[in-house]
Structure 1
Amino acid sequence: MASSPLRARRSPRAVPAVLLTAGALLLAGCSTGPAGGGSAGSSGSAAEGATGEFPRTVEHVYGETTIEEAPERVATVSWVNHDVATALGVVPVGVPTTDFGANGTGSTDWFDAALEESGAEAPQTYSETDGINFEAIAALDPDVILGAYSGLTREDYDKLSEIAPVVAYPEDAVAYGTSWQDSTELIGQALGREERAREVVEDVEQQIAETAEQYPELEGTSFVYGTLDPSAADPIIAYTEVDNRPKLLTSLGMVQAEAVTGAAEGKEDEFYVTWSPENADDLVSDVFVSWAAGEDVREDIESDPLLSSIPAVADDALVLQTDEQEVLSVSAASPLSIPWALENVVPDIAEAARTAGGE
């Protein structure tokens, strides 16, 4: 976890009401026990909240998956998927341990808030440091495995399918590039909760619209969302429009820098492009948002003869994100993390937009 937060933590936005109306009974019915702990008894059933008919078939990058009955025991891989399931009223029985971006509980603020509001117990966790934890997932005896947001390979998918039906990422998405809306829709289909998924998406999109109104300076402001690090092999990285970071900013009315859009042409499956430091002054935007391991990186950037020539850096409109949880809330966007990001990430970007506008 980053040791020097970008700024003091703000109070998290309340969990959207629509995420809580599924009821604590449904949420509690899917938990097995505290994170990393043993199994606990359940009260109720996740299947009770499903409104869709079963069996049902969902489509994804590796074909089709048929789910015979409304899942009661849900396991997830990667980020995002456990957030989405919880937002839809189903706390998984098992989820990957959060390493990058974890809070003091080894989870995230937004997931913990939803869990607390629901009254459910925390799911078991398993490490994905060395890849998919097939053994731990199999031990949970899940009814379905969710990977709508993931980088599942065909080999991963086939091996997981020997355990339970698997929902991989959409065919039209890149690995780790599924939008939070598409993840919610796909998982809603798998759980028989399409109506709930639509409500959740509409609610969060409304919050985004309200935030855009709160910060009118964002409208039309150009940006680069990437990474600046003079010591890295690739000192300049910019995320493309298929990545969730630029997707959030464009949803707020901001505009991807033309330089990045041009560099990404013909690279529709790539979520980032590299940029030559020798051409740093051509990377024109009003604002530059960058991850950094610590606040001291700012001095390294500003003292670098090439990176300091990036227009947004020269104009003091560089937003340096040193808090891993801030980065995770946007890069692995979910209907739980986005409201948190609107409170904890967007104000810094709006401040940079005001600086760029001469305020």
Structure 2
Amino acid sequence: MSQRARRTALTLVPVLAVSVLAACSTGSTTAEDAPAPKSESEVDADAFPVTIETSFGETTIEEEPERVVALTSDADVALSLGVVPIAIERNDWAGGENGTTEWWDQALADVEGAEEPQLLDTADGIPVDEIVALEPDVVLGTNSGLTKDDVRSLEKAGVPVVGYPGLQWGTTWQESLDMVGQALGRNELADEVEADTQQVFADAREEYPELEGTSFLFSWFDATDLSQIGIYTEIDNRPRILSELGMVNPPVVEDGPDDTFYFNVSLEKAKTLEADVVLTYATSEKEAKKLEQAPLVSDIPAVQDGNFLASVDPADTAGLSAPSPIAIPFVLDRYLPQLAETIDG
């Protein structure tokens, strides 16, 4: 699967026809004109040098990195630790016209004197040359689409890269926070942020007790082929986050593949897809209703029972697929009321 195809499946395989817009990167492509580094927190004593193990091998960072480039959710993670990257990935799915998410904008506004980072277009892969031109001290990609070639090219240019510990886009928010905390020399602060985020989960479980023990299918549908359903596995962060809230995966996921973040099932088996709720995406309420009533899709037991939620605002769920300490409170506040209503029928 190509990187573009994999990212499409990761974020959203469009329901009933959605056009995908590839935006160009914005801002400077030179180090001189890039945003000035900015941080509002201090490094731990004796934090450097530090060596971090990733799926690409060991990465050693000799001293505190000031010029930080952060890919996907690592931009949020760095910001949660008081470090503003000079460049981040543009988000045209959930980021609106400005290419950044609402939770990023809110958190950045709280950092006095912080400048908007350069936005990197990664629709066709990581723009290695553009990143090198920014002369970063480190590239953070713990939950990203970095490839081995990307990492080798960046390292050859003298740029340390903190990649993911397992599969592309398969890193938990806790792992990302720990690794970014090490890379930025802010382990103590990372521990505090993790504790605060865990409290967010605890509060959500208390507010929505109906989540406990409820089984769910987190799915996507291809507009060109409604004969099958794509199902996210336990490797994907969407099911992981819901599991942290007390929900459970149904048998089709438990018995499915354990080496991929999603798999397809023929909708000829729709009646066997037992789960309390079915979760997916749509681009409008009209399209959500059309999908719910589509042949075969409507044969899924939970859909028949009306326990079907098709999110129409990407911002409601983007923080599930790319979770971070600043995205999680936002997405739980937006998504859980809808989910609880779906569970209650």
TM-score, normalised via structure 2 length: 0.86
| Cα distance in 2, alignment partners of residues 41 and 223 from structure 1 | 45
Q: Is the 8 A contact 1:292 1:321 kept in 2?
A: yes
SS of the residue aligned with 2:84?
coil
| Cα distance in 2, alignment partners of residues 233 and 36 from structure 1 | 40
Q: Does 1:303 align with 2:298?
A: no
| 1:143 aligned residue | 137
Distance 1:283 1:40, change over 3 A: closer
Shift of residue 121, structure 1, vs aligned partner: 1.7
Distance 1:191 1:206, change over 3 A: same
Counterpart selection for 1:56 from 46, 50, 54: 50
| Cα distance in 1, alignment partners of residues 338 and 109 from structure 2 | 28
Shift of residue 292, structure 1, vs aligned partner: 2.0
Q: Does 1:269 align with 2:259?
A: yes
What stretches of structure 1 of length at least 5 have no aligned partner? 3-34
- Taking the TM superposition and a 5 Å limit, the aligned residue runs for 1:179-194 are 179-194=172-187
Q: Is the 8 A contact 1:126 1:133 kept in 2?
A: yes
Bigger mean CA deviation after superposition, 248-257 or 326-335: 326-335
| Cα distance in 2, alignment partners of residues 234 and 346 from structure 1 | 29
What stretches of structure 2 of length at least 5 have no aligned partner? 1-10, 13-25
| 1:168 aligned residue | 163
Q: Is the 8 A contact 2:170 2:237 kept in 1?
A: yes
Shift of residue 47, structure 1, vs aligned partner: 8.3
| 1:292 aligned residue | 282
Distance 1:345 1:95, change over 3 A: same
| 1:116 aligned residue | 109
The residue type paired with residue 194 of structure 2 is V
SS of the residue aligned with 1:176?
coil
Q: Is the 8 A contact 1:230 1:301 kept in 2?
A: no
| 1:345 aligned residue | 335
Distance 1:338 1:106, change over 3 A: same
SS of the residue aligned with 2:254?
helix
The residue type paired with residue 58 of structure 1 is I
Q: Is the 8 A contact 2:144 2:168 kept in 1?
A: yes
Q: Is the 8 A contact 1:50 1:191 kept in 2?
A: no
Shift of residue 234, structure 1, vs aligned partner: 6.0
Counterpart selection for 2:205 from 197, 200, 212: 212
Q: Is the 8 A contact 2:35 2:116 kept in 1?
A: no
Q: 1:247-293, CA deviations, whole angstroms, 9 ceiling, x for partnerless residues? A: 1111111111112211x2xx322001211110001111111110123
| 2:312 aligned residue | 322
Q: Does 1:155 align with 2:149?
A: yes
TM-score, normalised via structure 1 length: 0.83
- Taking the TM superposition and a 5 Å limit, the aligned residue runs for 1:30-45 are 36=27, 38-40=33-35
| Cα distance in 1, alignment partners of residues 223 and 237 from structure 2 | 24
| 2:273 aligned residue | 283
The residue type paired with residue 252 of structure 1 is L
Shift of residue 235, structure 1, vs aligned partner: 3.1
Distance 1:282 1:125, change over 3 A: same
Q: Say how many residue pairs are matched.
A: 316
Q: Does 1:106 align with 2:99?
A: yes
| Cα distance in 2, alignment partners of residues 47 and 210 from structure 1 | 27
| Cα distance in 2, alignment partners of residues 205 and 48 from structure 1 | 23
Q: Is the 8 A contact 1:230 1:307 kept in 2?
A: no
